[in-house]
């Protein structure tokens, strides 16, 4: 089991700057190997500008080649749980949180194990970050006015079976906004600069991951907002 950890914790503005060890760490592990990782890497890079407290750290766990095929949410949860005991990621079970990010589109028409996944994720103390149909929906929300322009009144189109392909309806909507292939262009991660727009607009769609079947859903912004508000350990 191999894993790489992406963090900006050890980056300092000068060699004389003393860094305090993080009190609490949030680990992100994603179903996808490109889009989500582009995004969370940039989010980690700008954490200070977002107002995330110095005692709070965010880290992206990147699956190595031998584990890159682990993507089905149940398998991803099991994988994440095993990682918690790995010394190299330094996971504190009393304080730290594992956030498992995956798409719910496959559960619209092909799988009935979604409730089992939610229960297993929660019972093992993880936070589940879910987008339905896909992470591109959350990215679309980073554009001011995109809810009214691209989503309102068109909700059913996003979840039609014929529109759930890799380059389906939501992908095309995002492509028109960005002119980028979200699965291949790392610059898509720079949308994280507009995270506060996404947080605001996400509240206009369903954020309840337990009731996401047949509903446009995202709770990624909700999770990030909670991290921004986390006070961590008092400096006193």
Residue range 139-161, pLDDT digits in tens: 999 999 999 999 999 999 999 99
pLDDT at 67 over 70: no
Which pLDDT band, with edges at 50, 70 and 90, does 88 fall under? confident
Strand partners, 26: 58, 97
Q: Which 3 state secondary structure label does DSSP give 36?
A: helix
Domain count, the chain: 1
pLDDT in tens, 106-134: 999 887 899 999 999 999 999 999 999 99
Domain membership of residue 225 as a residue range: 3-8+21-229
What's the rounded Cα separation, in Å, for the pair 133 and 154?
13
- Report the candidate in 47, 46, 79 with the shortest Cα–Cα distance to residue 61: 79
Q: Tell me how far apart the 2 most distant CA atoms of the chain are, in Å.
A: 57
- Please state the rounded mean pLDDT for residues 96-104: 96
Q: Which 3 state secondary structure label does DSSP give 102?
A: strand
What's the rounded Cα separation, in Å, for the pair 66 and 84?
18
- The answer to whether residue 157 is domain-embedded is yes
pLDDT in tens, 171-211: 999 999 999 999 999 999 999 999 999 999 999 999 999 99
- The answer to whether residue 16 is domain-embedded is no
| Per-residue pLDDT at 21 | 64
Contacts with 181 (C-beta within 8 Å, 6 or more apart), sequence order: 175
- The answer to whether residue 15 is domain-embedded is no
Secondary structure in 3-state letters for 126-175: CEEEEEECCHHHHHHCCCCCHHHHHHCCCHHHHCCHHHCCCCCHHHHHHH
| Per-residue pLDDT at 141 | 98
- The answer to whether residue 173 is domain-embedded is yes
- The answer to whether residue 235 is domain-embedded is no
Compute CA 158 distance to the chain's CA centroid, rounded to the nearest angstrom: 20
- The answer to whether residue 236 is domain-embedded is no
Q: Which 3 state secondary structure label does DSSP give 62?
A: strand
Per mean pLDDT, which range of 8-17, 110-119, 150-159, 224-233 is the poorest?
8-17
| Per-residue pLDDT at 235 | 42
- What is the dihedral sign for C-alpha 193, 195, 201, 205? positive
Task: Identify the burial level of 108 via C-beta atoms within 10 angstroms of its C-beta, where 0-12 means exposed, 13-18 middle and 19 or more buried.
Answer: middle
User: If you average pLDDT over every residue of the chain, what do you get?
Assistant: 90
Do 56 and 230 touch, CB atoms closer than 8 A?
Answer: yes
pLDDT at 236 over 80: no
- Please state the rounded mean pLDDT for residues 205-228: 97
pLDDT at 14 over 70: no
**Over the range 59-90, which residues count as b (16 or more CB within 10 Å of their CB) and which as e?**
bbbbbeeeeeeebebeebbebbbebbeeeebe
| Per-residue pLDDT at 16 | 46
| Per-residue pLDDT at 45 | 97
Per mean pLDDT, which range of 18-27, 55-64, 141-150 is the poorest?
18-27
- The answer to whether residue 14 is domain-embedded is no
pLDDT in tens, 28-51: 999 988 999 999 999 999 999 999
- How many other CB atoms are there within 10 angstroms of residue 47's CB atom? 22
Q: Does an H or E element contain 221, and which?
A: helix 220-229
- The answer to whether residue 197 is domain-embedded is yes
What's the rounded Cα separation, in Å, for the pair 135 and 133?
7
Residue with tokens 């607009």: 201
What's the rounded Cα separation, in Å, for the pair 103 and 116?
15
């Amino acid at each position: 089991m191999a894993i790489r950890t992406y963090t900006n914790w050890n980056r300092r503005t000068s060699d004389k700057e003393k860094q305090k060890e993080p009190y609490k760490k949030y680990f992100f592990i994603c179903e996808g190997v490109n889009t989500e990782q582009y995004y969370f890497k940039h989010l980690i890079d700008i954490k200070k500008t977002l107002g995330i407290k110095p005692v709070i750290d965010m880290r992206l766990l990147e699956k190595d080649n031998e584990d890159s095929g682990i993507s089905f949410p149940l398998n991803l949860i099991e994988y994440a749980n095993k990682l918690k005991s790995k010394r190299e990621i330094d996971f504190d079970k009393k304080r730290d949180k594992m956030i498992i990010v995956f798409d719910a589109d496959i559960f619209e028409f092909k799988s009935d194990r979604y409730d089992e996944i939610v229960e297993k994720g929660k019972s093992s103390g993880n936070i589940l970050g879910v987008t339905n149909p896909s992470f591109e929906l959350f990215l679309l929300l980073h554009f001011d006015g995109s809810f009214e322009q691209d989503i309102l009144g068109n909700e059913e189109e996003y979840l039609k079976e014929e529109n759930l392909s890799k380059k389906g309806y939501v992908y095309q909507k995002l492509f028109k906004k960005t002119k980028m292939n979200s699965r291949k262009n790392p610059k898509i991660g720079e949308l994280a600069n507009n995270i506060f727009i996404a947080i605001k607009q996400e509240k206009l769609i369903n954020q309840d991951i337990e009731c996401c079947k047949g509903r446009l859903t995202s709770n990624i912004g909700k999770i990030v907002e909670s991290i921004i508000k986390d006070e961590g350990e008092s400096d006193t």
